[in-house]
Amino acid sequence: MAVRRGHVIVIPHAAQGHLAPLMKLSLQIAAHGVKVTLVNTEFIHEKVMASLPAKALEEDQRPPISLVSIPDGLEADDDRRDYVKMTESMRRVMPGHFMKLIENINSRSNGDEKISCVLADTAAGWALEVAEKMGIKRAAVLLSGPASMALALHVPKLVEAGILDSDGTLKTDEPITLSEDIPSWSSSELSWSCSDDPVMQKLLFAYVSTAAKTFKFAEQILCNSFHELDPAAMKLIPKALPIGPFSTTNHFETFAGNLWPEDSTCLTWLDKQTPGSVIYVALGSTTMLSPNQVGELALGLELTALPFLWVVRSNMTDGSTAEFPKGFMERVADRAKLVQWAPQEKVLAHPSVSCFLSHCGWNSTIEGLTIGVPFLCWPYFADQFHNRTYICDVWKIGLGLEKDENGIITRNELSSKINTLLSSDEIKANSFQLKGVARKSVAEGGSSFKNFKGFIDQI
């Protein structure tokens, strides 16, 4: 490894979809000889350590980064799914702990070991304010798609023009358009839109509205995307530096930043399946389905008569463990594999996988498109609806599932869309083509490769 220069401190927001990509980025930076300290809340840190496979703690497997933690201000048994309480507490106590942590590191370090750069998740923008106060170089890391951020940055103008009200509700029948090359947002596709929960919508909108302020403190915005993927949206984000897709450093792949232990038995199961036959079903870390919807999904998968690998998290249904229709497990036993948490990128890259039934979270979107797997889109929340529009209408690498009049995605909808997806040569060809562009961007001489190298040179 090259001689270490500089010391970067990385701070993700306390959630699976934020930690995993920042873990990857930290390992990528460390691979260039830069010292990296990654800061989690104590609650998340404990989960990460408990989810590591035993071999990850062996001397030669330890990652070249320090994993440390600070309090989030809540009690051990407080409900961390209470978004309001959680964000209020983190915002109140974490800046002070973060500043103290940097002071401690600096007081016992010399020269190159002192913190030279703060990298903060855009959802932990307060860390950039701390960095500015302390006179440290700083960059924000954008973990959603560029279009969502472009929209967030336009919020003040949209409110001023009366297009949005102060709670984020669209006041006209016209969708929001930022540029003719970016798909418009209908009212249900706005990343803060929650028609059935106005209090939540208000909160999310207040959070999204702070984007411009966060960006003021950042000297650069590192994006987990590549320029060619969405040049029009990238143009609307000042200081954007696309350096993605962030990639797993093979040697330290056990350090995936998981909050649940990975069940790698699904890889040996995949080895036994026919190439290009398996439907991979994973709806991210927070999606929740009604028991009725879980049943329809199960019956839809059964109806396809194809093998499937389904990630069924213990908290996938609200308050109860998932229950499958009577006899389902017995009927599909010879062609189904269910796990609580999968090594997703390895699964997607497995030759047995044919398609990805996804909730379209940005990480899953960028992982699936980089590996070249066609999507079946089932968005649930936030920016996932607009990501679906990109997947289906802009890149044309997948199909969307439609709900029926009762708000359910039925077994027939599922099975017929899977059949249509798998027989589409056009979607397969587009997926293959986009994968090539993604790979080229991070290969030597590519756009993200050059941007990342420039960033490393600066720190």
**Least Cβ distance, residue 368 to ligand UDP (angstroms):** 9
Dist CA 265 CA 263 (whole Å):
6
**Closest to 370 (Cα-Cα) out of 343, 345, 407:** 345
Complex with ligand UDP: residue 277 or 286, whichever CB lies closer? 286
**Least Cβ distance, residue 396 to ligand UDP (angstroms):** 20
Complex with ligand UDP: residue 113 or 253, whichever CB lies closer? 253
Strands (E), 64-214: 65-70, 117-121, 137-142
Distance of CA 302 to the CA centre of its chain: 29
- One DSSP character per residue, 278-339 reads EEEEE-TTT--B-HHHHHHHHHHHHHHTS-EEEE--TTSBTTB---PPTTHHHHHTTTEEEE
What's the residue count for the chain?
459
Q: Residue 212 CB: number of other CB atoms within 10 A? A: 15
**Least Cβ distance, residue 194 to ligand UDP (angstroms):** 15
Q: What x/- string results for residues 279 through 298 when contact with ligand UDP is judged by CB under 6 A?
A: ---x-xxx------------
The residue whose two tokens read 């899977």 is 418
Under rule CB under 6 A, which residues in 306-325 are in contact with ligand UDP? 311
> Residue 203, interface with ligand UDP (CB under 6 A)?
no
Complex with ligand UDP: residue 39 or 382, whichever CB lies closer? 382
Under rule CB under 6 A, which residues in 407-426 are in contact with ligand UDP? none
> Residue 145, interface with ligand UDP (CB under 6 A)?
no
Strand 117-121: give its sheet, edge to edge: 65-70, 35-41, 7-11, 117-121, 137-142, 220-223, 240-242
**Least Cβ distance, residue 150 to ligand UDP (angstroms):** 18
Under rule CB under 6 A, which residues in 351-390 are in contact with ligand UDP? 361-364, 367
> Residue 17, interface with ligand UDP (CB under 6 A)?
yes
**Least Cβ distance, residue 86 to ligand UDP (angstroms):** 15
Dist CA 421 CA 374 (whole Å):
8
Longest dimension (CA), the chain: 65
Complex with ligand UDP: residue 286 or 416, whichever CB lies closer? 286
Dist CA 344 CA 263 (whole Å):
10
**Least Cβ distance, residue 258 to ligand UDP (angstroms):** 6
Stretch that binds ligand UDP, among 77-85, 177-185, 209-217, 337-345 (CB under 6 A): 337-345
Site residues, ligand UDP (CB under 6 A): 16-17, 20, 282, 284-286, 311, 341-342, 344-345, 361-364, 367
